[in-house]
């Protein structure tokens, strides 16, 4: 049994949860403690108590701790990547790359700790100086989803600790293994008791206790739009600082002048890798009519060549869907797409393998229209639709016709269209001739419209959420 980490101690939960491998339902990854609201409150109290000294502790101690966490993640990349792939279902290559990324994020913020600066300005009043400094926000609640079980916790926890906050971390129920392994590393990094706490458990219980506690100053959340909206409303009642990363319906525009192989690579990588279970996944291919037939036929061939299977099989390119509920949702959207009149050109049916798992053949709908539900709603599976358009202008209009605005992409050899697209597409991240999913760890991540709320995550911009600014006036 893997326990929760509260106030510097490993504590048994009030119940436990079995972690099942989606590639092999007979494989139990482990048993993990489930906290209740009372234990969540103990964690919050411990974090509050620890905050009194941690916020003023030497920055070298913080830098050392983050560096040590980053080093251990990198050293154990293969072992932790295997655990991640086993519990979440992304391939070994993807799982171990994610662990490396988490390590790099901790290393990045280890450096940022000692770079946090302020400003000193002359006052408009004589003999007065003005200093602007950054202080920790306080106690931060971190609530994460299942699709990046190590990287998303890392990109929230690392800056939270770097800037002197204490943390109460609630991972997604489906992936406690990676979260627990990360917590165990953090627990040995030399940070004081109570600065970091892990409380595994239900969103409606533990997550809710975090969001409604008056002792939590800020919440950083990644998950669904509906939960994010609810959390934002709850947080607003207490004027909490809120950072939300939610869904996407990311467009990949392919113009007639695109390099076809580049477009296919972007489509396969962006829409289907990680089983399409990424908020930055391309799910709408918006394709100009001159290249449409070639794009669709070449993409169908490429999909047929992809190996769907057990995440730990080195030959696998597309792992299983994460659980039964997600599989049901994916299959429901396959039905919806057909009933709306789109053509299911490839995939979309469960496939059987030697183990019992949630394997789904990656699906491509063709002749979709922008008004169809499969072109508007986030599916979160290996399913994308191709929408034919006449011109670049129409492609841009369709790309922007979405409640979401996380990532976007264009495949073109035209500098004019690439430049115009970067300026006018309404998304927080945009890609030219590279997939919509797959981002660097040292630059901002986030979107517009219903995709994100609050300051950007990652890179140097993370400081804006995890610190508060103080302006001090001094007369000598």
**Residues recognised as catalytic:** 245
* Window 158-177: contact mask with ligand ADP (x via CB under 6 A): ------------x-xx----
Question: 39, 208, 250, 402: which one contacts ligand ADP (CB under 6 A)?
Answer: 208
8 Å CB contact between 28 and 2? no
User: For residues 248 and 388, which CB has a smaller minimum distance to ligand ADP in the complex?
Assistant: 248
143 binds ligand ADP (CB under 6 A): yes
312 binds ligand ADP (CB under 6 A): no
8 Å CB contact between 191 and 163? no
Q: For residue 155, what are the CA distances in angstroms to 70, 282, 422, 459?
A: 12, 22, 25, 9
* Window 94-123: contact mask with ligand ADP (x via CB under 6 A): ------------------------------
User: For residues 100 and 322, which CB has a smaller minimum distance to ligand ADP in the complex?
Assistant: 322
User: For residues 41 and 110, which CB has a smaller minimum distance to ligand ADP in the complex?
Assistant: 41
Burial class (CB in 10 A: 0-12, 13-18, 19+), 316: buried
8 Å CB contact between 33 and 1? yes
Picking from 179, 62, 91, 151, the residue whose alpha carbon sits closest to that of residue 441 is 151
- 170 contact partners, CB below 8 Å, separation of at least 6: 40, 141, 142, 143, 144, 199, 200, 201, 203, 206, 207, 210
For the bound state, the minimum distance from the C-beta of residue 391 to ligand ADP, rounded and expressed in Å, comes to 36
Pairing of strands 363-366, 343-346: antiparallel
User: For residues 216 and 308, which CB has a smaller minimum distance to ligand ADP in the complex?
Assistant: 216
For the bound state, the minimum distance from the C-beta of residue 460 to ligand ADP, rounded and expressed in Å, comes to 26
399 binds ligand ADP (CB under 6 A): no
Binders of ligand ADP: how many residues, by CB under 6 A? 17
User: For residues 95 and 203, which CB has a smaller minimum distance to ligand ADP in the complex?
Assistant: 203
* Window 216-245: contact mask with ligand ADP (x via CB under 6 A): -------xx--x--xx--------------
End-to-end CA distance of the chain: 60
For the bound state, the minimum distance from the C-beta of residue 87 to ligand ADP, rounded and expressed in Å, comes to 14
User: How does DSSP classify residue 35?
Assistant: -
Return the beta strands (E) in 298-361 as ranges: 343-346
144 binds ligand ADP (CB under 6 A): yes
Report the C-alpha gap between 407 and 251 in whole angstroms.
8
User: For residues 44 and 110, which CB has a smaller minimum distance to ligand ADP in the complex?
Assistant: 44
Q: Give me the count of residues in the chain.
A: 476
User: For residues 104 and 277, which CB has a smaller minimum distance to ligand ADP in the complex?
Assistant: 277
- 384 contact partners, CB below 8 Å, separation of at least 6: 267, 271, 272, 276, 281, 282, 283, 284, 285, 363, 364, 365
203 binds ligand ADP (CB under 6 A): yes
For the bound state, the minimum distance from the C-beta of residue 331 to ligand ADP, rounded and expressed in Å, comes to 16
145 binds ligand ADP (CB under 6 A): yes
Per the structure block, which two tokens stand in for 462?
Answer: 């993370």
Contacts of ligand ADP in 427-466 (CB under 6 A): none
Per the structure block, which two tokens stand in for 284?
Answer: 């709408």
For the bound state, the minimum distance from the C-beta of residue 129 to ligand ADP, rounded and expressed in Å, comes to 44
Residue found by looking up tokens 């829409």 in the block: 271
For the bound state, the minimum distance from the C-beta of residue 383 to ligand ADP, rounded and expressed in Å, comes to 16
Question: 22, 164, 207, 235: which one contacts ligand ADP (CB under 6 A)?
Answer: 207
276 binds ligand ADP (CB under 6 A): no
Contact residues for ligand ADP (CB under 6 A)? 143-146, 170, 172-173, 203-204, 207-208, 211, 223-224, 227, 230-231
């Amino acid at each position: 049994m893997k326990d929760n980490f509260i106030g510097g101690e490993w504590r048994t939960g009030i119940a436990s949860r079995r972690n099942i491998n989606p590639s092999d339902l007979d494989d139990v990854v482990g048993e993990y403690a489930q906290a209740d609201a009372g234990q969540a409150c103990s964690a919050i109290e411990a974090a509050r108590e620890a905050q009194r000294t941690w916020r003023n502790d030497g920055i070298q101690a913080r830098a050392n701790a983050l560096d040590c966490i980053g080093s251990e993640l990198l050293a154990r990349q293969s072992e932790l990547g295997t655990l991640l792939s086993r519990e979440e279902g992304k391939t070994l290559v993807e799982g171990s790359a994610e662990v490396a990324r988490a390590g790099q994020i901790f290393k990045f913020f280890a450096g940022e700790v000692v770079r946090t600066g302020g400003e000193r300005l002359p006052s408009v009043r004589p003999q007065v100086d003005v200093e602007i400094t950054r202080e920790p926000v306080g106690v931060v609640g971190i609530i994460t989803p299942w699709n990046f079980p190590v990287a998303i916790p890392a990109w929230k926890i690392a800056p939270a600790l770097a800037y002197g906050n204490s943390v109460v971390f609630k991972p997604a129920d489906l992936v406690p293994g990676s979260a627990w392994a990360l917590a165990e590393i953090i627990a040995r990094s030399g940070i004081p008791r109570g600065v970091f706490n892990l409380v595994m458990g239900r969103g409606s219980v533990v997550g809710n206790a975090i969001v409604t506690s008056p002792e939590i100053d800020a919440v950083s959340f990644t998950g669904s739009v509906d939960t994010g909206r609810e959390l934002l409303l709850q947080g607003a009642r207490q004027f909490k600082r809120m950072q939300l990363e939610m869904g996407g319906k990311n467009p990949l525009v392919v113009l007639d002048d695109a390099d076809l192989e580049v477009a296919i690579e972007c489509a396969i990588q962006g829409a289907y890798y990680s089983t399409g279970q990424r908020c930055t996944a391309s799910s709408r291919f918006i394709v100009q009519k001159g290249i449409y037939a070639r794009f669709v036929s070449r993409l169908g061939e490429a999909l047929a060549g992809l190996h769907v299977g057990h995440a730990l099989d080195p030959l696998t390119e597309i792992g299983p869907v994460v659980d039964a509920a997600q599989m049901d949702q994916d299959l429901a959207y396959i039905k919806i797409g057909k009933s709306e009149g789109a053509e299911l050109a490839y995939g979309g049916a469960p496939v059987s393998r030697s183990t019992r798992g949630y394997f789904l053949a990656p699906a491509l709908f063709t002749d979709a229209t922008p008004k169809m539900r499969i072109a508007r709603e986030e599916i979160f599976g290996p399913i994308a639709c191709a929408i034919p358009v006449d011109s670049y202008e129409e492609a841009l209009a369709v790309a922007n016709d979405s409640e979401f605005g996380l990532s976007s992409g264009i495949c073109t050899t035209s500098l004019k269209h690439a430049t115009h697209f970067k300026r006018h597409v309404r998304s927080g991240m945009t890609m030219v001739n590279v997939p919509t999913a797959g981002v660097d760890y040292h630059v901002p991540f986030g979107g517009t419209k219903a995709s994100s709320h609050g300051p950007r995550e990652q890179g140097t911009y993370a400081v804006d959420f995890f610190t508060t600014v103080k302006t001090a006036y001094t007369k000598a």
